[in-house]
Structure formats: structure tokens, C-alpha cells
Structure 1
Amino acid sequence: MGCVGSVVVARTASVEWGGASLAFSMSTSRNSLVARTLLCALAGLCLMVSTSTFAQEIDPISPALSSTSAECTHAVAADSASTDVDRFRCLTAGEQAASWRTTIEDRSLLSLPDNQILALMDAMKPEAFVEYARFDMILDNAYEYTMFRRERVFGRWSARPDHMIVRYQDNPRKVYVKWLPDGAHAGQEILYDETTDPDSVYGHVGGPLRIVSGKVAIDGPFALAQSRHSVRDIGLQFVARTIEHDARSFRAEGLTEKPVRIELVNVQGTRMLAWTWIAPSGPPAHYAQRVRLLFDLQHLWPIGEAAWDAHGELLEMIHFEDVVPRHWSESTFDRRNPEYGFH
């Protein structure tokens, strides 16, 4: 409208378009018909230019304003389910990770059929799995959970799983663990606080010897007698860091960081999504020769993890339950806490 109005009120106007100049002089005593004709033509031209410019400014798929490729922009699917997969495929890795998180948080993933969930996984970029682990899989710095764990330690598979309650804070790293009565090493407790003693664990064993508490080196033989892991590895963030570590190794080896096997499995009547990575070697380049994470489609974090060595023998099986975010007080990681059995 501004362009048209400027032509109507001006007695002499000059309009430049594409490097060409159009000038005219208006006389009130003659050539009025020609002047009116030129004015109308010029007004129409300005209106077309304004409309075209406005359309480009608001066009959501304009190349100047969108990073979406033409192939993704014009993807057409026969049904809504396929459309969702096509849109998901066209997102960046970070956007895919955030979108996957949203489908879990709003519980919409539970209503999807197996084939659509697997189609989304097929469309997920390799980098998106790492992005999900880094930014979306573990959202809380402090939380409490219970854990069942079995491991192969010094070549021997444990006859009975540990059942533990864990109180955890990632930054700064603080850990309290108690072994529950229905698992191995019942009654054992340990406490770790990197702000007071980063190199030691305070604790006691179960049974009659629980009356004696003391410090042991965090990476010493006594601390590692029951597990391949340091107490610092016990949080869910360790799973996310392992995915990141192995992804770097896969890329360095010219391989994809995407799981080589993605499937839906039934575990004790519950539908679960399994991601399995198979590496050309084990440590130190990779955590294990084969690693599998299980997701129950309702929580962001994995509820299960398993690892195998190059001979196909299980190294560990871990199951996480009842993960609850917490705001810990100072007494949570204090050995004098009356809830604990330290002496």
C-alpha cells in the first residue's frame, strides 16, 4: 500500500527495478489519459512486487529462511504414519533426539505399532543416538533408584544378583549405596563424596563384620572385589558417557555409531525397545564387544543394560528401577546419618 500511495501523491516519480530506471513527468493540462494509464501500470507493478516480497518473507519453506532440503520439504506420504516418519527423517540429529524425548514424555510412543517405531528408528541419524544420550536420556543431576546387578568378576559369573538402593549426585559426584536383603552382599553399605575425599570409599561389608567401618582406596583390590566398576561409575550418567566414548571410537574406525540392531522385544510381558551395538573389539576402544540397552517406552533412561565379551560370554546384566529425582540434603552423604549403619 505504501508503494501505491507514493505514486498517487507524487507529481514526479522515479522507480528503479532491476537496474532500469523509469521516469515520467505529469502535467495537469494535457496527456492526462497517458498519465493515468502510466500511474495504473506503475501501481500494479508495485503491488505485485510488494505481494511477492511479503510472500517470500512468510513462506516457511523459502530456501533463504529454512535449512530443510527440497527433498524433505516436498516429501509426500500415503498416510499420516508415513508422513510422521518422513518429517522425522528430515530433522537434524539434535532435533531428532529432542523429538524422540517428547514422544516418550507425552506417552505417545506407547500407542504406536511396532512397525512405526522401527521405522522411526530406521530414520534416526547415527549422530542422533549420541545427542539423545548426551542431552535427553538423563535429565537429573541427583536422583535415587534401585538396581539389580550381576557381573563376571575375575572370570566368574556371580551366582546371585546384587539388589541395591542408590542415592546419587553427579556433579559434584556423591554416592550412597546399600545392598538389600534379597540380594547378594546383603547389609553392605558404601559412601563416596569427591568433595571431601576423592580417592577413598567409606563403608562396611554385610553380615557379622558390618560393625566395622573404614576407608578403602576407590580403585583398590578390596573396592573392586565384587565389581568391575568404580563407585564413580554407578550412576545412570555412566551409561550416557559410555555411548559417547564408544561413538568416538566407531567414528575413528570409519564405522557408524548407530546401533547395528534395533528391535522390539517382550520382556516378562512388557514391550521394550532394544538398541545393540557390536564393536570390532572390546576395551579400551570400546566398552565391550557387544552392548545392549533396553527401554520400556515410558522412561527416557534405559531400564536395562547388558554387555558381552568377544567370546559371547556375558560380562554384566543390570536392571534399573524406580528412578526418582531428588534434592539431597547435606546429611544424605554424611556417614553420621542415623539412617545408615556406619560405625
Structure 2
Amino acid sequence: MTFCGFGISNHPVRRRTLPAAGWRTIARTLLHGLALTCLIVSMGAFAQSTSPIAPASSGTAAECANAVASDTVNADIEQFRCLPAREQAASLRTRIENHSILSLTDDQILALMDAMKPEAFVEYAKSDMIAEDAYEYSMFRQERISGRWPERPDHMLIRYQHSPRKVYAKWLPDGAHAGQEILYDETTDPKSMFGHLGGRLRLVSGKVAVDGPFAHAQSRHSVRDLGLQFIARTVEHDARSFREEGLSEKPGRIELMNAHGTRLLAWTWTAPSGPPAHYAPRVRLLFDLQHTWPCGEAAWDEQGGLLELIRFEDVVPRQWSESIFDRGNPEYGFR
């Protein structure tokens, strides 16, 4: 089973994390003039996945501003550490878009993540991860439905507009449920979608309730969740729950994974419970460091069993014409 091109095992072949002990050495190199208080905050970032990380105080920010770093990259990371959360999120997006993050070593990327304030992860998801309102992408998706894990993933083409919400989805030939199509337009009918099951059954197209049993026979999600913005909303929702529980919204585990020569940055949150407070007991987002949006998402239940495994590919911003969300489009198979 693969996830963004690598095995979903909790123990991939190559993985780089920043263990607690390692931070002491790195911190001494990076922060010659930094006070002991700031060092303790920095080293605790990855020491325990359940340890809350408090926002830096104004005194800490002043100390960080006067920190001395040993080289240009490390000086840049220390300047990043002292930015407000909103500016950190915008800076991370810029580093990904201009590909400067790719020039960093594994340890430098992990140091950059350690320097991010807990609120910055939420700000990034909310405002910088997905900037486009309309786009097309493909998705491989597997979900545990009624206790059963599917043998084959769905491979879907998604055409999406966030505001107002419009969705076209087609199940592609190399995946499960090949040939199915659905169309949703909240401006014409916010509570129903139009669809067919593919093959000979495409001759029978019709409306079904967005949140009815037929719509959820293959997925726990609504058609309205098919945009990447759903991930941003989930991060934001779970962050509120973490704060209410007295926990940090920062991912409890941040690591780099090597998949066939490509580095993937993984953010993993472990929650004390599942729904409704949290999306799932454990959630992981993967980034390929070449695009601002995630390349994959996975969720596990309390026993460590996979709930869903999703891979996103070929995200392309679009300016859709009216025909894209018209079931009369000759490209589609609706009848």
C-alpha cells in the first residue's frame, strides 16, 4: 500500500526526525547568544508528541531578535522564529513557491518547523495552503466503510469551485467504481447532487441527497468535501479542540521521509479522542515541498487501523466556464 508514492507503514525505510537529544547539539550550534529559557522552548518542540508548546512571550521574542547564528541559513531560521504566526505562515508559502526550501538540509528543514509557532501551522492551512478558489486535480482514495477496507483505491478526476460550491467528479478506469460521475451545484440545488453509476447504468442518471445513505455508500464524506479546502477546515477545527483541551495545535510529530529519492515532509497530530472533537485520533498530512498544498492525507482510529488514505496529484488552477458544471456537457455521460 502506498501513500504519495511510499509505503504507509509507520516505519518507512528512511525517515529523518529530530529527536529530543539531538536538539541540544543543534541548538548550541544555532543559538550561541540565546538565553537558556529560549533553548528549553526550542528543544521541547519534538521531545513529546503530547507536550503543549506555549507561544513565545514578548521577552523571548526580544531574546531571539538578539540571537547570534553561525551561518546565513541558521540566521534566517532564527529570524523566522521571531516572526508572528501569520508572517511565519506566509514565509513558509514563499519558501515553497520559490523552491528555496529545497536547498535546505533535512536538519535545517526540521529546525525551520521547530521554529514555527503552533498558531502558524493553523494560519498556513487556513490562508496559505490552498490559495486557489477553482482548480482541477486527481485523487486516489481508500476509506474504511462499514468496517471494510477496499482492495482497490478510487481514482478520481475532480473539477472544483469553492465559492459558490460546484463540483464535478469522475471515477477513472484504473480505479474502483470506474465510470461513475457526479455533479453538484449549490446555486441550483444545495441539498442534492446528480449522478450515475457508470457502464450500462449510466443510462439511469438521477438526483440523490448530498448526505443521504446512497451518497455515503462509498465514502464518509459529502460531495462538498471534495475540495482541498476541506483539509484546511479540518486543521482549523481540530486546532480549536486542542486549545480547549489545553494542548498545543502544533503537530506532535514532524518528520522527513525519503520516498524514491523525494523528500516528503510529514505533519502528524495525535488527539485524545476522535469525532466530534477531532477528525480522527491520528491524522497525517504529507507535503512534497514543491507545492503549497498537501500531496496526501491519512487518518487512523484508536487502535491504529487506517480509516482513510488519500493522495492528491496534478492540482491545476482553473477559470471554469459554465459548461463545466452543466450536466448537458457532451464530455460527460449523464442522461
- With the shorter chain as reference, the TM-score category is 0.7 to 0.9
Aligned pair partner of 2:129 in 137, 140, 143: 137
Quote how far apart the aligned CAs of 1:69 are.
4.2
**Number of aligned positions between the proteins:** 278
Once residues 234 and 70 of structure 1 are traced to their aligned partners in structure 2, the CA distance between those partners, rounded to angstroms, is 43
Q: Which residue of 2 aligns with 1:306?
A: 298
Q: Which residue of 2 aligns with 1:176?
A: 168
1:106 paired with 2:86, answer no
1:74 paired with 2:71, answer no
Quote how far apart the aligned CAs of 1:72 are.
2.6
SS in 2 for 1:156: coil
Quote how far apart the aligned CAs of 1:70 are.
2.9
Show the 5 A alignment for 1:188-267: 188-267=180-259
Q: Larger deviation: 110-119 or 203-212?
A: 203-212
TM-superposition CA deviations, 1:143-172 (whole Å, max 9, x none): 000000000011100110000000000011
Once residues 81 and 146 of structure 1 are traced to their aligned partners in structure 2, the CA distance between those partners, rounded to angstroms, is 36
Q: Which residue of 2 aligns with 1:324?
A: 316
Quote how far apart the aligned CAs of 1:67 are.
11
Q: Structure 1: which amino acid aligns with 2:131?
A: L
Relative distance call for 1:231 and 1:280 in structure 2 (3 A) is: same
1:281 paired with 2:267, answer no
Q: Which has the higher contact order (CA 8 A, sep 6+)?
A: 2
Q: Which residue of 1 aligns with 2:82?
A: 90
Q: Which residue of 2 aligns with 1:120?
A: 112
Once residues 230 and 259 of structure 1 are traced to their aligned partners in structure 2, the CA distance between those partners, rounded to angstroms, is 26
Quote how far apart the aligned CAs of 1:79 are.
1.7
Quote how far apart the aligned CAs of 1:261 are.
0.3
Aligned pair partner of 1:336 in 324, 328, 334: 328
Q: Which residue of 2 aligns with 1:34?
A: none
Once residues 178 and 277 of structure 1 are traced to their aligned partners in structure 2, the CA distance between those partners, rounded to angstroms, is 31
Aligned pair partner of 1:146 in 122, 129, 138: 138
Q: Structure 2: which amino acid aligns with 1:292?
A: R
Once residues 126 and 267 of structure 1 are traced to their aligned partners in structure 2, the CA distance between those partners, rounded to angstroms, is 27
Cα RMSD over matched residues?
1.3
Once residues 59 and 128 of structure 2 are traced to their aligned partners in structure 1, the CA distance between those partners, rounded to angstroms, is 23
TM-superposition CA deviations, 1:79-114 (whole Å, max 9, x none): 222211110110000110011011000001111100
Quote how far apart the aligned CAs of 1:307 are.
0.2
Once residues 72 and 309 of structure 1 are traced to their aligned partners in structure 2, the CA distance between those partners, rounded to angstroms, is 39
- Sequence identity of aligned pairs in percent? 76
Q: Structure 2: which amino acid aligns with 1:101?
A: R
TM-score, structure 1 as length reference: 0.79
Once residues 267 and 225 of structure 1 are traced to their aligned partners in structure 2, the CA distance between those partners, rounded to angstroms, is 33
Q: Which residue of 1 aligns with 2:263?
A: 271
SS in 1 for 2:110: helix
Q: Structure 2: which amino acid aligns with 1:132?
A: Y
Q: Structure 2: which amino acid aligns with 1:75?
A: A
SS in 2 for 1:153: coil
TM-superposition CA deviations, 1:307-341 (whole Å, max 9, x none): 00111110000000000000011111010011100
Q: Structure 2: which amino acid aligns with 1:323?
A: V
Q: Unpaired runs of 5+ in structure 1? A: 1-65
Once residues 79 and 275 of structure 1 are traced to their aligned partners in structure 2, the CA distance between those partners, rounded to angstroms, is 27
Once residues 210 and 289 of structure 2 are traced to their aligned partners in structure 1, the CA distance between those partners, rounded to angstroms, is 35
TM-superposition CA deviations, 1:189-213 (whole Å, max 9, x none): 0000000000101000022212110
TM-score, structure 2 as length reference: 0.81
Q: State the structure with more CA Rg.
A: 1
Once residues 329 and 88 of structure 1 are traced to their aligned partners in structure 2, the CA distance between those partners, rounded to angstroms, is 41
Q: Structure 2: which amino acid aligns with 1:169?
A: Q
Q: Unpaired runs of 5+ in structure 2? A: 1-57
Show the 5 A alignment for 1:35-46: none
